[in-house]
Structure 1
Amino acid sequence: MIALVVFRVTAYLRSHRAFQALLPVLAVLAIVHGNSAPVGSEATALADSAVLVLPFLAWAARSVLDTEPDQQRVISATGAGGGAREVVAGLLAALTACVAFAALAFGWGLTLGLSALPSPAVTGAAATLHVLAALAGVVLGALTSRVIVPSPALSIMGLLAGYLAMLLVSASPLYWLTVPVTAWIKAATAGDLPARLPALATVSLVWCVAGLAAYAALRRTRP
Protein backbone atom coordinates (compact mmCIF):
# COMPACT_ATOMS: atom_id res chain seq x y z
CA MET A 1 0.00 0.00 0.00
CA ILE A 2 2.92 2.33 0.68
CA ALA A 3 4.07 1.81 -2.89
CA LEU A 4 0.62 2.85 -4.12
CA VAL A 5 0.74 6.00 -1.97
CA VAL A 6 4.15 6.90 -3.41
CA PHE A 7 2.89 6.13 -6.91
CA ARG A 8 -0.08 8.48 -6.54
CA VAL A 9 1.91 11.32 -5.00
CA THR A 10 4.51 10.97 -7.76
CA ALA A 11 1.81 10.99 -10.43
CA TYR A 12 0.30 14.11 -8.85
CA LEU A 13 3.64 15.90 -9.00
CA ARG A 14 4.59 14.73 -12.49
CA SER A 15 1.22 15.79 -13.89
CA HIS A 16 1.93 19.34 -12.62
CA ARG A 17 -1.46 19.35 -10.89
CA ALA A 18 0.35 20.41 -7.74
CA PHE A 19 0.69 23.89 -9.22
CA GLN A 20 -3.11 24.23 -9.29
CA ALA A 21 -3.04 24.39 -5.49
CA LEU A 22 0.47 25.75 -4.95
CA LEU A 23 0.02 29.00 -6.85
CA PRO A 24 -3.24 30.03 -5.09
CA VAL A 25 -1.74 29.07 -1.72
CA LEU A 26 1.28 31.27 -2.38
CA ALA A 27 -0.99 34.13 -3.45
CA VAL A 28 -3.14 33.82 -0.31
CA LEU A 29 -0.08 33.68 1.95
CA ALA A 30 1.45 36.70 0.24
CA ILE A 31 -1.75 38.66 0.91
CA VAL A 32 -2.35 37.45 4.47
CA HIS A 33 1.24 37.96 5.51
CA GLY A 34 2.01 40.94 3.28
CA ASN A 35 2.63 42.97 6.43
CA SER A 36 4.00 41.45 9.59
CA ALA A 37 1.30 40.96 12.19
CA PRO A 38 1.77 43.34 15.14
CA VAL A 39 2.84 42.03 18.51
CA GLY A 40 -0.09 40.40 20.26
CA SER A 41 -1.95 39.31 17.13
CA GLU A 42 0.22 36.35 16.20
CA ALA A 43 -2.54 33.83 16.92
CA THR A 44 -5.00 35.67 14.72
CA ALA A 45 -2.61 35.83 11.77
CA LEU A 46 -1.79 32.14 11.98
CA ALA A 47 -5.43 31.13 12.42
CA ASP A 48 -6.36 33.22 9.38
CA SER A 49 -3.74 31.35 7.40
CA ALA A 50 -5.15 27.94 8.39
CA VAL A 51 -8.70 28.96 7.48
CA LEU A 52 -7.92 30.67 4.18
CA VAL A 53 -5.76 27.88 2.74
CA LEU A 54 -8.32 25.17 3.59
CA PRO A 55 -10.22 25.30 0.26
CA PHE A 56 -6.95 24.98 -1.63
CA LEU A 57 -5.98 22.01 0.52
CA ALA A 58 -9.31 20.46 -0.47
CA TRP A 59 -8.51 21.26 -4.09
CA ALA A 60 -5.14 19.53 -3.71
CA ALA A 61 -6.75 16.43 -2.17
CA ARG A 62 -9.32 16.30 -4.95
CA SER A 63 -6.59 16.62 -7.58
CA VAL A 64 -4.53 13.82 -6.05
CA LEU A 65 -7.54 11.50 -6.09
CA ASP A 66 -8.50 12.52 -9.63
CA THR A 67 -5.04 12.21 -11.16
CA GLU A 68 -5.40 8.46 -11.64
CA PRO A 69 -7.74 7.38 -14.48
CA ASP A 70 -10.80 5.39 -13.47
CA GLN A 71 -9.50 2.23 -15.13
CA GLN A 72 -6.19 2.53 -13.30
CA ARG A 73 -8.03 2.83 -10.00
CA VAL A 74 -9.52 -0.63 -10.54
CA ILE A 75 -6.08 -2.02 -11.37
CA SER A 76 -4.65 -0.36 -8.26
CA ALA A 77 -7.33 -1.93 -6.09
CA THR A 78 -6.40 -5.35 -7.46
CA GLY A 79 -2.70 -4.76 -6.94
CA ALA A 80 -3.17 -3.36 -3.44
CA GLY A 81 -5.12 -6.41 -2.35
CA GLY A 82 -8.63 -4.99 -2.21
CA GLY A 83 -10.78 -1.95 -2.64
CA ALA A 84 -10.44 -0.89 1.00
CA ARG A 85 -6.65 -0.73 0.75
CA GLU A 86 -6.92 1.29 -2.46
CA VAL A 87 -9.24 3.78 -0.73
CA VAL A 88 -6.88 4.14 2.22
CA ALA A 89 -3.89 4.58 -0.10
CA GLY A 90 -5.70 7.34 -1.97
CA LEU A 91 -6.57 9.15 1.25
CA LEU A 92 -3.00 8.87 2.53
CA ALA A 93 -1.67 10.27 -0.74
CA ALA A 94 -4.13 13.16 -0.51
CA LEU A 95 -3.15 13.73 3.12
CA THR A 96 0.52 13.84 2.13
CA ALA A 97 -0.15 16.66 -0.32
CA CYS A 98 -2.38 18.55 2.13
CA VAL A 99 0.12 18.29 4.97
CA ALA A 100 2.88 19.61 2.68
CA PHE A 101 0.82 22.66 1.71
CA ALA A 102 -0.34 23.21 5.31
CA ALA A 103 3.27 23.05 6.51
CA LEU A 104 4.20 25.62 3.88
CA ALA A 105 1.44 27.93 5.13
CA PHE A 106 2.40 27.50 8.77
CA GLY A 107 6.12 27.91 8.12
CA TRP A 108 5.55 31.03 5.99
CA GLY A 109 3.38 32.62 8.67
CA LEU A 110 5.72 31.74 11.50
CA THR A 111 8.90 32.97 9.81
CA LEU A 112 7.72 35.81 7.57
CA GLY A 113 4.31 36.91 8.80
CA LEU A 114 4.92 37.93 12.41
CA SER A 115 6.66 40.80 14.14
CA ALA A 116 7.59 38.57 17.06
CA LEU A 117 7.57 34.87 17.74
CA PRO A 118 4.43 33.72 19.58
CA SER A 119 4.46 31.80 22.83
CA PRO A 120 4.94 28.02 22.68
CA ALA A 121 1.25 27.55 23.53
CA VAL A 122 0.12 29.74 20.63
CA THR A 123 2.64 28.14 18.27
CA GLY A 124 1.40 24.67 19.17
CA ALA A 125 -2.24 25.70 18.83
CA ALA A 126 -1.62 27.30 15.44
CA ALA A 127 0.25 24.22 14.23
CA THR A 128 -2.70 22.09 15.35
CA LEU A 129 -5.11 24.28 13.38
CA HIS A 130 -3.05 23.75 10.23
CA VAL A 131 -3.09 19.98 10.80
CA LEU A 132 -6.87 20.12 11.27
CA ALA A 133 -7.14 22.19 8.09
CA ALA A 134 -5.18 19.49 6.23
CA LEU A 135 -7.50 16.77 7.54
CA ALA A 136 -10.61 18.78 6.68
CA GLY A 137 -9.17 19.47 3.24
CA VAL A 138 -8.69 15.74 2.64
CA VAL A 139 -12.30 15.01 3.61
CA LEU A 140 -13.80 17.83 1.57
CA GLY A 141 -11.62 16.98 -1.42
CA ALA A 142 -12.46 13.28 -1.20
CA LEU A 143 -16.20 13.92 -1.03
CA THR A 144 -16.00 16.05 -4.18
CA SER A 145 -13.56 13.82 -6.10
CA ARG A 146 -14.48 12.38 -9.49
CA VAL A 147 -15.40 8.95 -8.17
CA ILE A 148 -18.08 10.56 -5.97
CA VAL A 149 -19.10 13.51 -8.17
CA PRO A 150 -18.36 12.64 -11.83
CA SER A 151 -19.26 16.08 -13.19
CA PRO A 152 -16.27 18.48 -12.95
CA ALA A 153 -18.59 21.49 -12.70
CA LEU A 154 -20.66 19.98 -9.90
CA SER A 155 -17.50 18.82 -8.16
CA ILE A 156 -16.00 22.30 -8.09
CA MET A 157 -19.29 23.87 -7.01
CA GLY A 158 -19.65 21.24 -4.31
CA LEU A 159 -16.16 21.96 -2.97
CA LEU A 160 -16.79 25.71 -2.84
CA ALA A 161 -20.26 25.23 -1.35
CA GLY A 162 -18.82 22.93 1.30
CA TYR A 163 -16.23 25.48 2.32
CA LEU A 164 -18.76 28.32 2.40
CA ALA A 165 -21.05 26.15 4.50
CA MET A 166 -18.20 25.64 6.96
CA LEU A 167 -17.74 29.40 7.25
CA LEU A 168 -21.45 30.14 7.69
CA VAL A 169 -22.36 27.28 10.01
CA SER A 170 -19.28 27.71 12.19
CA ALA A 171 -20.24 31.36 12.72
CA SER A 172 -23.59 30.28 14.19
CA PRO A 173 -24.54 28.58 17.47
CA LEU A 174 -24.56 25.34 15.46
CA TYR A 175 -20.78 25.52 14.90
CA TRP A 176 -20.45 21.99 16.29
CA LEU A 177 -22.06 20.62 13.11
CA THR A 178 -19.02 21.36 10.98
CA VAL A 179 -15.33 22.20 11.16
CA PRO A 180 -15.60 25.41 13.24
CA VAL A 181 -13.22 27.48 11.15
CA THR A 182 -14.87 30.78 12.07
CA ALA A 183 -14.68 29.78 15.73
CA TRP A 184 -10.94 29.21 15.25
CA ILE A 185 -10.51 32.82 14.20
CA LYS A 186 -12.77 34.13 16.96
CA ALA A 187 -10.84 32.21 19.60
CA ALA A 188 -7.52 33.44 18.23
CA THR A 189 -8.73 37.04 18.14
CA ALA A 190 -10.03 36.79 21.70
CA GLY A 191 -6.66 35.48 22.85
CA ASP A 192 -7.96 32.18 24.23
CA LEU A 193 -7.12 29.83 21.36
CA PRO A 194 -4.91 27.50 23.45
CA ALA A 195 -7.63 27.20 26.10
CA ARG A 196 -10.42 26.51 23.60
CA LEU A 197 -8.35 24.33 21.30
CA PRO A 198 -9.31 20.94 22.85
CA ALA A 199 -13.02 21.59 22.31
CA LEU A 200 -12.56 23.04 18.84
CA ALA A 201 -10.23 20.23 17.81
CA THR A 202 -12.68 17.61 19.05
CA VAL A 203 -15.51 19.10 16.99
CA SER A 204 -13.24 19.28 13.94
CA LEU A 205 -12.08 15.69 14.29
CA VAL A 206 -15.63 14.38 14.74
CA TRP A 207 -16.66 16.07 11.49
CA CYS A 208 -13.61 14.67 9.69
CA VAL A 209 -14.30 11.14 10.93
CA ALA A 210 -17.94 11.42 9.87
CA GLY A 211 -16.89 12.71 6.46
CA LEU A 212 -14.40 9.87 5.98
CA ALA A 213 -17.05 7.35 6.98
CA ALA A 214 -19.41 8.84 4.40
CA TYR A 215 -16.68 8.68 1.75
CA ALA A 216 -15.90 5.06 2.58
CA ALA A 217 -19.59 4.15 2.40
CA LEU A 218 -19.99 5.86 -0.96
CA ARG A 219 -16.88 4.16 -2.35
CA ARG A 220 -18.42 0.76 -1.70
CA THR A 221 -20.91 1.47 -4.48
CA ARG A 222 -18.41 3.25 -6.74
CA PRO A 223 -15.45 1.09 -7.77
Structure 2
Amino acid sequence: MTRVVALVRMRIGAYVGLQRVWPPLIAALALVSVAHAGGVAPPNQAYAFSAALLFGVFGWQTKLVLDTEPDEQRLLAKIGVGSPGRELAAGLLAALVMVLPVVVLGVVAPLLVGAVEISGGWPEWAAWAAFGGWLHVLSATCGLAVGALASRPVIAGAGWSVMIVLAVPVLVLVLGSRQSQTPRWLVPQLFAASRIEGAADLGSAGVITVHALGWAALLLAGYAALRRSRL
Protein backbone atom coordinates (compact mmCIF):
# COMPACT_ATOMS: atom_id res chain seq x y z
CA MET A 1 0.00 0.00 0.00
CA THR A 2 2.88 2.36 0.80
CA ARG A 3 4.31 1.85 -2.69
CA VAL A 4 0.95 2.59 -4.28
CA VAL A 5 0.60 5.82 -2.29
CA ALA A 6 4.14 6.83 -3.29
CA LEU A 7 3.31 6.16 -6.95
CA VAL A 8 0.13 8.22 -6.67
CA ARG A 9 2.09 11.13 -5.20
CA MET A 10 4.75 10.84 -7.92
CA ARG A 11 2.14 10.92 -10.70
CA ILE A 12 0.34 13.88 -9.17
CA GLY A 13 3.67 15.68 -8.78
CA ALA A 14 4.54 15.05 -12.44
CA TYR A 15 1.10 16.21 -13.60
CA VAL A 16 1.29 19.42 -11.58
CA GLY A 17 5.00 19.99 -12.22
CA LEU A 18 4.55 19.83 -15.99
CA GLN A 19 1.72 22.40 -15.64
CA ARG A 20 -0.82 20.12 -17.29
CA VAL A 21 -3.09 20.94 -14.38
CA TRP A 22 -3.96 24.45 -15.57
CA PRO A 23 -5.86 24.04 -18.89
CA PRO A 24 -8.61 21.81 -17.45
CA LEU A 25 -8.97 24.02 -14.37
CA ILE A 26 -9.32 27.14 -16.51
CA ALA A 27 -11.83 25.36 -18.75
CA ALA A 28 -13.80 24.23 -15.68
CA LEU A 29 -13.92 27.79 -14.35
CA ALA A 30 -15.15 29.04 -17.73
CA LEU A 31 -17.84 26.36 -17.98
CA VAL A 32 -19.06 26.96 -14.43
CA SER A 33 -19.28 30.66 -15.23
CA VAL A 34 -21.31 29.90 -18.36
CA ALA A 35 -23.55 27.46 -16.50
CA HIS A 36 -24.56 30.07 -13.92
CA ALA A 37 -24.46 33.22 -16.05
CA GLY A 38 -28.17 33.11 -16.84
CA GLY A 39 -29.29 34.29 -13.43
CA VAL A 40 -30.84 32.52 -10.47
CA ALA A 41 -32.13 28.99 -11.09
CA PRO A 42 -33.57 26.16 -8.97
CA PRO A 43 -30.66 24.23 -7.43
CA ASN A 44 -31.63 20.88 -8.97
CA GLN A 45 -31.54 22.36 -12.47
CA ALA A 46 -28.41 24.43 -11.87
CA TYR A 47 -26.43 21.49 -10.50
CA ALA A 48 -27.63 19.08 -13.20
CA PHE A 49 -26.53 21.47 -15.94
CA SER A 50 -23.19 22.14 -14.24
CA ALA A 51 -22.44 18.44 -13.72
CA ALA A 52 -23.24 17.67 -17.36
CA LEU A 53 -21.02 20.49 -18.62
CA LEU A 54 -18.09 19.45 -16.40
CA PHE A 55 -18.29 15.81 -17.51
CA GLY A 56 -15.88 16.48 -20.37
CA VAL A 57 -13.43 18.29 -18.11
CA PHE A 58 -13.27 15.29 -15.77
CA GLY A 59 -12.47 13.01 -18.72
CA TRP A 60 -9.85 15.44 -20.03
CA GLN A 61 -8.17 15.70 -16.63
CA THR A 62 -8.01 11.93 -16.28
CA LYS A 63 -6.50 11.47 -19.71
CA LEU A 64 -3.85 14.13 -19.02
CA VAL A 65 -2.90 12.50 -15.71
CA LEU A 66 -2.59 9.03 -17.25
CA ASP A 67 -0.73 10.37 -20.30
CA THR A 68 1.89 12.27 -18.28
CA GLU A 69 4.06 9.25 -17.52
CA PRO A 70 6.25 7.85 -20.35
CA ASP A 71 5.58 4.24 -21.32
CA GLU A 72 8.98 3.03 -20.10
CA GLN A 73 8.49 4.69 -16.71
CA ARG A 74 5.03 3.14 -16.41
CA LEU A 75 6.57 -0.31 -16.95
CA LEU A 76 9.09 0.39 -14.19
CA ALA A 77 6.27 1.58 -11.93
CA LYS A 78 4.41 -1.68 -12.53
CA ILE A 79 7.48 -3.60 -11.40
CA GLY A 80 8.03 -1.26 -8.45
CA VAL A 81 4.54 -1.66 -6.94
CA GLY A 82 4.54 -5.40 -7.50
CA SER A 83 1.56 -5.97 -9.81
CA PRO A 84 -0.21 -4.52 -12.86
CA GLY A 85 -3.40 -4.08 -10.80
CA ARG A 86 -1.68 -1.85 -8.26
CA GLU A 87 -0.09 0.26 -10.98
CA LEU A 88 -3.47 0.66 -12.68
CA ALA A 89 -5.13 1.59 -9.39
CA ALA A 90 -2.41 4.17 -8.65
CA GLY A 91 -3.11 5.91 -11.95
CA LEU A 92 -6.85 6.05 -11.35
CA LEU A 93 -6.36 7.28 -7.76
CA ALA A 94 -4.05 10.05 -8.97
CA ALA A 95 -6.65 11.10 -11.53
CA LEU A 96 -9.38 10.99 -8.89
CA VAL A 97 -7.42 13.29 -6.59
CA MET A 98 -6.95 15.80 -9.40
CA VAL A 99 -10.64 15.93 -10.37
CA LEU A 100 -11.79 16.63 -6.80
CA PRO A 101 -11.00 20.39 -6.93
CA VAL A 102 -13.30 20.71 -9.95
CA VAL A 103 -16.02 18.82 -8.06
CA VAL A 104 -15.69 21.33 -5.21
CA LEU A 105 -15.76 24.21 -7.69
CA GLY A 106 -18.94 22.90 -9.30
CA VAL A 107 -20.68 22.59 -5.94
CA VAL A 108 -19.50 25.73 -4.16
CA ALA A 109 -19.40 28.31 -6.97
CA PRO A 110 -23.18 28.65 -7.51
CA LEU A 111 -23.71 29.02 -3.76
CA LEU A 112 -21.08 31.75 -3.47
CA VAL A 113 -22.37 33.81 -6.39
CA GLY A 114 -26.04 33.35 -5.52
CA ALA A 115 -26.88 31.52 -8.73
CA VAL A 116 -29.22 29.03 -7.01
CA GLU A 117 -32.63 29.81 -5.58
CA ILE A 118 -32.72 28.46 -2.00
CA SER A 119 -35.36 29.95 0.25
CA GLY A 120 -34.68 28.07 3.49
CA GLY A 121 -31.94 28.34 6.08
CA TRP A 122 -28.69 26.47 6.55
CA PRO A 123 -30.27 22.98 6.63
CA GLU A 124 -31.70 23.50 3.15
CA TRP A 125 -28.44 25.00 1.91
CA ALA A 126 -26.56 21.98 3.26
CA ALA A 127 -29.05 19.58 1.70
CA TRP A 128 -28.70 21.15 -1.74
CA ALA A 129 -24.90 21.31 -1.40
CA ALA A 130 -24.97 17.58 -0.68
CA PHE A 131 -27.20 17.12 -3.74
CA GLY A 132 -24.68 19.03 -5.87
CA GLY A 133 -21.81 17.04 -4.41
CA TRP A 134 -23.54 13.75 -5.18
CA LEU A 135 -24.27 14.75 -8.76
CA HIS A 136 -20.78 16.11 -9.48
CA VAL A 137 -19.15 13.02 -7.95
CA LEU A 138 -21.25 10.86 -10.29
CA SER A 139 -20.18 13.04 -13.22
CA ALA A 140 -16.53 12.82 -12.11
CA THR A 141 -16.69 9.03 -11.77
CA CYS A 142 -18.12 8.60 -15.26
CA GLY A 143 -15.73 11.19 -16.71
CA LEU A 144 -12.81 9.40 -15.08
CA ALA A 145 -13.86 6.16 -16.80
CA VAL A 146 -14.05 7.89 -20.19
CA GLY A 147 -10.68 9.57 -19.72
CA ALA A 148 -9.06 6.28 -18.70
CA LEU A 149 -10.43 4.53 -21.77
CA ALA A 150 -9.08 7.35 -23.98
CA SER A 151 -5.63 7.49 -22.37
CA ARG A 152 -2.40 6.66 -24.19
CA PRO A 153 -1.78 3.41 -22.28
CA VAL A 154 -4.91 2.06 -24.00
CA ILE A 155 -5.23 4.01 -27.27
CA ALA A 156 -1.98 4.99 -28.96
CA GLY A 157 -3.59 7.00 -31.75
CA ALA A 158 -4.10 10.61 -30.70
CA GLY A 159 -7.02 11.07 -33.09
CA TRP A 160 -9.12 8.26 -31.65
CA SER A 161 -8.22 9.30 -28.13
CA VAL A 162 -9.31 12.91 -28.65
CA MET A 163 -12.49 11.75 -30.39
CA ILE A 164 -13.48 9.69 -27.35
CA VAL A 165 -12.81 12.54 -24.91
CA LEU A 166 -14.83 14.97 -27.05
CA ALA A 167 -17.58 12.73 -28.43
CA VAL A 168 -18.77 11.10 -25.21
CA PRO A 169 -19.43 14.41 -23.37
CA VAL A 170 -21.34 15.63 -26.43
CA LEU A 171 -23.45 12.46 -26.32
CA VAL A 172 -24.09 13.06 -22.62
CA LEU A 173 -25.36 16.55 -23.41
CA VAL A 174 -27.39 15.56 -26.49
CA LEU A 175 -28.83 12.19 -25.50
CA GLY A 176 -29.19 13.09 -21.83
CA SER A 177 -31.51 15.96 -22.66
CA ARG A 178 -33.77 13.92 -24.96
CA GLN A 179 -37.25 12.86 -23.87
CA SER A 180 -37.05 9.48 -25.59
CA GLN A 181 -36.08 6.83 -23.07
CA THR A 182 -34.07 4.41 -25.23
CA PRO A 183 -31.17 6.60 -26.45
CA ARG A 184 -31.13 8.54 -23.19
CA TRP A 185 -30.11 5.49 -21.19
CA LEU A 186 -26.98 5.02 -23.29
CA VAL A 187 -25.31 7.78 -21.24
CA PRO A 188 -25.28 8.75 -17.53
CA GLN A 189 -28.53 10.45 -16.55
CA LEU A 190 -27.09 13.70 -15.23
CA PHE A 191 -29.86 15.85 -16.70
CA ALA A 192 -32.52 13.61 -15.13
CA ALA A 193 -31.42 14.92 -11.73
CA SER A 194 -32.94 18.29 -12.66
CA ARG A 195 -36.37 16.69 -12.10
CA ILE A 196 -35.55 15.61 -8.53
CA GLU A 197 -37.40 18.01 -6.23
CA GLY A 198 -36.12 16.83 -2.86
CA ALA A 199 -35.79 13.98 -0.40
CA ALA A 200 -39.17 12.58 -1.37
CA ASP A 201 -37.71 11.46 -4.70
CA LEU A 202 -34.91 9.26 -3.40
CA GLY A 203 -36.02 6.47 -5.72
CA SER A 204 -35.09 8.49 -8.81
CA ALA A 205 -31.78 9.45 -7.23
CA GLY A 206 -31.06 5.77 -6.60
CA VAL A 207 -31.82 4.83 -10.20
CA ILE A 208 -29.57 7.61 -11.51
CA THR A 209 -26.77 6.52 -9.16
CA VAL A 210 -26.94 2.82 -10.01
CA HIS A 211 -27.08 3.53 -13.74
CA ALA A 212 -24.13 5.97 -13.66
CA LEU A 213 -21.94 3.73 -11.49
CA GLY A 214 -22.77 0.69 -13.62
CA TRP A 215 -21.95 2.66 -16.77
CA ALA A 216 -18.61 3.77 -15.31
CA ALA A 217 -17.80 0.27 -14.05
CA LEU A 218 -18.37 -1.17 -17.52
CA LEU A 219 -15.94 1.33 -19.08
CA LEU A 220 -13.35 0.80 -16.33
CA ALA A 221 -13.60 -2.96 -16.83
CA GLY A 222 -12.85 -2.40 -20.51
CA TYR A 223 -9.93 -0.18 -19.57
CA ALA A 224 -8.52 -2.83 -17.23
CA ALA A 225 -8.94 -5.55 -19.86
CA LEU A 226 -7.15 -3.51 -22.53
CA ARG A 227 -4.33 -2.62 -20.14
CA ARG A 228 -3.49 -6.30 -19.66
CA SER A 229 -2.02 -6.48 -23.16
CA ARG A 230 -0.20 -3.15 -22.99
CA LEU A 231 2.57 -1.49 -20.99
Aligned to 2:212: 204
Unaligned runs of 5+ in 2: none
Cα distance in structure 2, aligned partners of 1:216 and 1:173:
30
Q: What's the counterpart of residue 185 of structure 2?
A: 176
Distance 2:222 2:200 in 1: 30
**Which residue does the alignment assign to 1:149?**
155
How far is the alpha carbon of 1:182 from its aligned partner? Answer: 2.9
| Residue 20 of structure 1 pairs with residue 23 of structure 2 | yes
> Of 10, 14, 26, which aligns to 2:13?
10
Q: CA deviation at 1:35?
A: 5.0
**CA distance change for structure 1 residues 208 and 193 in 2, over 3 Å: closer, same or farther?**
farther
Which residue of structure 2 aligns with residue 213 of structure 1? 221
The answer to whether the Cα contact below 8 Å between 2:7 and 2:77 also exists between their aligned partners in 1 is: yes
User: After alignment, is 168-177 or 82-91 more displaced?
Assistant: 168-177
Aligned counterpart, 1:114 = 116
Deviations 1:117-153 (A, max 9, x none): 6724433222100111110111010010011111222
Contact 2:25 2:102 in 1 (8 A): yes
Cα 1:193–1:184 change in 2 (3 A) is: farther
Rounded Cα–Cα distance in structure 2 between residues aligned with 1:183 and 1:145: 28
Question: What is the TM-score of this pair, normalised by structure 2?
Answer: 0.87
- Distance in 1 between the 2:56 and 2:186 partners? 18
When residues 128 and 147 of structure 1 are mapped into structure 2, their CA distance, relative to the original with a 3 A threshold, is same
Pair 1:222 & 2:193 matched: no
Which of 123, 126, 138 matches 2:129? 123
Structure 1: 5+ residue runs without aligned partners? none
The offset of 1:107, in angstroms, is 1.3
Match of 1:105 in 2: 106
The answer to which of 167-176 and 200-209 deviates more is: 167-176
How far, CA to CA, are the matches of 1:123 and 1:92 in structure 2?
A: 24
- C-alpha distance in 1, partners of 2:90/2:119? 37
Aligned to 1:87: 88
Residue of structure 1 aligned with 2:169, choices 138, 163, 170:
163
Q: Is the 8 A contact 1:60 1:98 kept in 2?
A: yes
Would you say 1:140 and 2:149 are equivalent positions? Answer: no
**Given that residues 107 and 129 in structure 2 are in contact (C-alpha distance below 8 angstroms), is that contact kept between their aligned partners in structure 1?**
no
Counterpart residue identity of residue 206, structure 2: P
Normalised TM-score (structure 1): 0.90
Aligned residue identity for 1:45: A
Counterpart contact for 1:110–1:117, Cα < 8 Å: no
Cα distance in 2, alignment partners of residues 153 and 140 from structure 1: 15
> Match of 2:76?
75
Percent identity between matched residues is 33
Aligned to 1:31: 34
Give the Cα separation in 2 of the matches to 1:24 and 1:167: 17
